[in-house]
Amino acid sequence: MAQAPWAAILIARLGSGWRRPSPLEPQPSRPENLAKVSVVVPTLNEAQRLQPCLEGLMRQGYEVREILIVDSHSQDGTAEMVRAAQHRDPRLRLEFDPPLPTGWVGRPWALHTGFCCAHPESEWILGIDADTQPQPGLVASLLQTAQREQLDLISLSPRFILKTGGEWWLQPALLLTLIYRFGAARAVETQPERILANGQCLLIRRSRLEAIGGYQVAASSFCDDVTLVRAIAATGARVAFRDGSKVLKVRMYEGMAETWREWGRSLDLKDATPAAQVWGDAYFLWAVQGLPLPLLILGLMALALTTPTLPLEMATLLNGLLVLIRWGMTLAIAPVYDWQSGQGRWLFWLSPLADPLAALRITLSSWQRPKQWRGRTYSADTQPLV
């Protein structure tokens, strides 16, 4: 009785998956789109990850007017790396953001600085994270999709690069917490409070950003991408979230422990979501993702050891259905991973065993705001201490 309503909601959410838009394909540049996009890349001590991002951005076509690297005074040679690359592509510009104001998180502050520094004739602002690897035709594909479908904002899910067995086991379970909660992507998102976005690659019409004062609405958010996109969608903008696995790769974290610690802190989306919805989603995850496999095993053991009853049989059947759905979702997300690299790839197929951990991570994260984020330490009121 506790699980059945949530299972029905899950099936309804996933039911539209067969109608989800196709993955974006790389596109050639078009002359009419010359210099319409300013790219903003926020950085803080990204020297170990930035080079593939720079290389990918420099391979983009002439839609890109400029590539602004907004550095938060890195100490690891990030700025020197950008200066060296500037000799190869004049579109690269290095900017340093001012000291972080009270109430701001570092990433939205750097993005806001880039937005303010962008050329006034650029019609679009593209936020790109330093850990991404843009593929040829990415910007052209984003821009042409936005123009064709009259979108004001479009973000992409990437192809994930995993390198250790622990990542292959845990990361898919964490990723699926998003799909369980938000379902398959639609052609155009219509419910601002349920919109999902990915700030790793986020193209926004400049006029929409100007109308809300840039990134200020997401100043104190540790999930600034979702906070920003929901605020823009609430103004009537046309917003979409698409599969970008053919045009964008990302290497997010190094190892299972960092994936658990860093990604898990923002997956609850509490900074963009009412508290009741946060805890409702946590309960939902336990009901349909975290508990079905353990409950199925217990139910089968009980059926073998005791006299079967109708409630026990129905509960076991329901949890069996939920486990089958989970394995189907495992197959569905397999194409969003880079299967050419990494060790222990076979553990991906055992990721359903990590579902209780994934539900636990979302629950733990829902209790408190992060105190450390992207190399900075924050107090409870989001005032930077370091």
User: Which residues, in sequence order, are CB contacts of 317 under 8 Å at separation 6+?
Assistant: none
Is the pLDDT reported for residue 19 higher than 90?
no
Burial 225-253 (b: 16+ CB within 10 A, else e): bbbbbbbbbeeebbbbbbbbbbbbbbbbb
- Residue 189's domain spans which residues? 15-28+137-272
Local structure of 239: helix, strand or coil: strand
Q: How confident is the model at residue 333 (pLDDT cuts 50, 70, 90)?
A: very high
The token duo for 283 is 């309960």
The pLDDT of residue 380: 58
More confident residue, 272 or 60: 60
Query: Is residue 36 in a domain?
Result: no
Q: How confident is the model at residue 386 (pLDDT cuts 50, 70, 90)?
A: very low
Q: Which residue has the tokens 């690659």?
A: 201
DSSP assignment of 122-150 equals -SEEEEE-TTEEEPTTHHHHHHHHHHHTT
Query: Is residue 343 in a domain?
Result: no
Q: How confident is the model at residue 384 (pLDDT cuts 50, 70, 90)?
A: very low
The pLDDT of residue 295: 96
The pLDDT of residue 302: 95
- Sign of the alpha-carbon torsion through 296, 300, 306, 311: positive
Query: Is residue 51 in a domain?
Result: no
| Burial group, residue 136, by CB count within 10 angstroms (0-12, 13-18, 19+) | middle
Q: Are 325 and 10 in contact (CB under 8 A)?
A: yes
DSSP assignment of 256-287 equals HHHHHHHGGGTTT-GGGS-HHHHHHHHHHHII
Quote the longest CA-to-CA distance of the chain. 77
Query: Is residue 291 in a domain?
Result: no
Instruction: Please report, rounded to a whole number, the percentage of residues in the chain having pLDDT higher than 90.
Output: 80
**173 vs 167: CA distance, rounded Å:** 10
Is the pLDDT reported for residue 379 higher than 70?
no
53-68 pLDDT, tens digit per residue, is: 999 999 999 999 999 9
Predicted model pTM: 0.92
Rg (the chain; Cα; Å): 22
Average pLDDT over residues 352-376: 84
β pairing state of 372-373 and 248-250: unpaired
* Residue whose C-alpha is closest to residue 26's, from 69, 63, 68, 67: 63
Query: What is the DSSP-derived secondary structure letter of residue 246?
Result: T
Is the pLDDT reported for residue 385 higher than 60?
no
Query: Is residue 199 in a domain?
Result: yes
Is the pLDDT reported for residue 373 higher than 80?
no
142-159 pLDDT, tens digit per residue, is: 999 999 999 999 999 999
Q: What angle do CA 267, 271, 274 make, to 5 degrees?
A: 100
Query: Is residue 383 in a domain?
Result: no
Phi-psi region of 45 (alpha: psi -120 to 50; beta: other; left: phi over 0): left
Please name the amino acid found at residue 301. M
Average pLDDT over residues 50-54: 96
Residue 337 dihedral angles phi and psi, to the nearest 5°: -115, 150
The pLDDT of residue 317: 96
153-206 pLDDT, tens digit per residue, is: 999 999 999 999 999 999 999 999 999 998 877 768 878 888 889 999 999 999
**382 vs 300: CA distance, rounded Å:** 49
Query: What is the DSSP-derived secondary structure letter of residue 222?
Result: T
In which element (H, E) is residue 210 found? Answer: helix 206-211
More confident residue, 347 or 189: 347
Query: Is residue 218 in a domain?
Result: yes
DSSP assignment of 61-120 equals -TTEEEEEEEE---SSSHHHHHHHHHTT-TTEEEEEPPPPPTT--HHHHHHHHHHHHS-T
Q: Are 124 and 151 in contact (CB under 8 A)?
A: no
Counting the structural domains of the chain, the total is 1
Torsion of CA 36, 188, 156, 88, to 10 degrees: -10
| Burial group, residue 188, by CB count within 10 angstroms (0-12, 13-18, 19+) | middle
Q: How confident is the model at residue 28 (pLDDT cuts 50, 70, 90)?
A: very high
Query: Is residue 130 in a domain?
Result: no
Residue 204 dihedral angles phi and psi, to the nearest 5°: -130, 135
The token duo for 218 is 């997401």
Torsion of CA 273, 274, 278, 283, to 10 degrees: -140
